[in-house]
Amino acid sequence: MRGRVRSICTLFVALLGFASAQAESTPWTSLPADLASLLSAKAEAYREAATGFSCRKQIRKVKFSGGTARKGKKRTYDYLFIEKESGRQLIARHFKPGSRSGNGRKSRPSLPEPLLWTQLFDKATASTLKYRIGQPLREDGQLVLPIEWRSFLPFDKGRNIGEWSGTIFLQQSSGNPIRLEATPNFQSELIEAQRERYNQAMQFSIVPFYSRKLAPYPDMREVKVLFGDVHEGLAFPALVTLRMFRKTGRKENDRRLLKAYEIRYDAYRFFRTHSSVVDEKPVRPRLHP
């Protein structure tokens, strides 16, 4: 796998200039063939590595009232992926710390498992998405290439990466993801449409005019993922935040925070690879605001 990762890095550097030239006024479209092939190979490398590690997963949930955080709950698990025997489906499992009896419980949060975001450029997934390549940025002394993606699938439970649209930031020297930001597909449009339908229905109701109220905006959410631990040329998830808001007005910043989840992944242990690496003192990265 090391040889594949090195060749991917070389191709990525060569294609950066091409991406920069295409960044100005780029329409939503499929990725250029060479870049799509490069990133598809990178996605496959991540897929092969998915069942070759375990780590610690810490979930912290905090509710907010009037903008003030209440006491949060924290849970810790051992975490790994297994591959379903039929097909190529990866399933995340989490166990009580120190316990590996049985197959573990399925990890079913209301957002995709963080490593699965690396499959945004998998051939099958890419065929359902549209992309827009941004201008290279310099962050923390390194060049970063932002790529926006747009999906057109309806939002259901949020566990499939195809239910989200957003931006992924790739490291120029390796093609690894550094971070990403995503929101549910058509979130803003759906919020406005739901509120408008309610308000129109109220116009024809028998409720007295003076007692009618505008409908509250539906809840909205956003997810941010930060990648940190690097092993054999691949970057693994370090921190995920999921924030849920309630819209309070039509302006973009008119919203109130309801609850937040912070999920950390650390203490990685790798197996079925060239070396065994254990990081008991992981870096605690912080998401960009």
Residue 154 has φ and ψ, to the nearest 5°, of -70, 150
Q: How confident is the model at residue 285 (pLDDT cuts 50, 70, 90)?
A: very low
Query: What pLDDT is attached to residue 84?
Result: 78
Does residue 63 fall inside a structural domain?
A: no
* Number of domains present in the structure of the chain: 1
Residue bearing tokens 């100005």: 24
Distance CA 269, CA 267 (A): 7
First to last CA, the chain: 35
Q: 7: Cβ–Cβ under 8 A, 6 or more apart, which residues?
A: none
Answer yes or no: is pLDDT of 5 > 60.
Answer: no
Does residue 176 fall inside a structural domain?
A: yes
Does residue 109 fall inside a structural domain?
A: no
Lowest mean pLDDT among 23-32, 205-214, 222-231, 254-263: 205-214
Does residue 170 fall inside a structural domain?
A: yes
Number of H helices, E strands in the chain: 4, 13
Q: How confident is the model at residue 279 (pLDDT cuts 50, 70, 90)?
A: very low
Does residue 32 fall inside a structural domain?
A: yes
Does residue 61 fall inside a structural domain?
A: no
Does residue 96 fall inside a structural domain?
A: no
- One-letter amino acid for residue 149 of the chain: W
The 10s digit of each residue's pLDDT in 184-210 is: 998 877 777 766 766 666 555 555 544
Are the C-beta atoms of 125 and 161 separated by less than 8 Å? Answer: yes
Distance CA 55, CA 8 (A): 26
Does residue 175 fall inside a structural domain?
A: yes
Domain holding 122, by residue range, is 2-49+114-269
Q: 251: Cβ–Cβ under 8 A, 6 or more apart, which residues?
A: none
Distance CA 236, CA 144 (A): 17
